[in-house]
Structure 1
């Protein structure tokens, strides 16, 4: 038994005091000090609010956004898809295509692409980027879509949808 006359491990009941008068709440707190856990509130509305805060919220219903038509990359399965067709991707191809899809029409430098795919901006030659783009172009063509990777001479590459060209303004 503990010093309170209760067996050890037995929990004490929660005492709830409701009073709008702050002085009365202070006197109650002094009188009930050490008796057990005490919750003091100024009114029933405050008590209801406190009790509601402890309840778990109903689960949020999240409606999935409809997938936009077009080229999609499933990073986990390592595939690119267009309509009902899929092509397998290597991890390098996935990383390159995913990076190009982040900003379609943006011209990506060889260095930026090398950083995104191989994790280093240090580039001895552009041959590795060219080789990867060549393989990825073939796979995009196998999907039968109009999206391709266009070369921007001396700079790098960009992803372009030749069927639905988007023109930048400004």
Structure 2
């Protein structure tokens, strides 16, 4: 599999089903990653939507220097970073502070099928945001350390150090709940 590149090329050539395939394939994973980046489910949804809109409208060139998925997640992270900067400048009161979204747990439960993965996800949510991001990218999405570095704008060595510390923090968090880290 080419990781979405052929679907994107078909879309650029005029086949709209290529974009539909990309959205179907990457929407949920990108949403969960951006949720860990933004710490807000509805903001992450907006950023995912903006990511696919950018692909559809601006049609940026994929140069093949990384995998298509790495390139797409990098675009999503950059859009999320822009959104966070804009939000900080114009923030009055967030509606998310006053309401809960039931969609968040529904999406997580459908995407993360087993109870063990759900418990792992909840333990990850209690970690620092940068730990969440690096664990999610490498373990849930299967990115290499080098790809995760490109997506997050860090060096490979920084990612390795973050992963080491994130694993230790996750192990501690899981042990607090009585789970065995080795079985995960």
Q: TM-score, normalised by structure 1?
A: 0.30
Q: Which has the larger radius of gyration?
A: 1
Q: Which protein, 1 or 2, shows the higher relative CO under an 8 Å CA cutoff with sep ≥ 6? A: 2
Report the TM-score when normalising by structure 2: 0.28
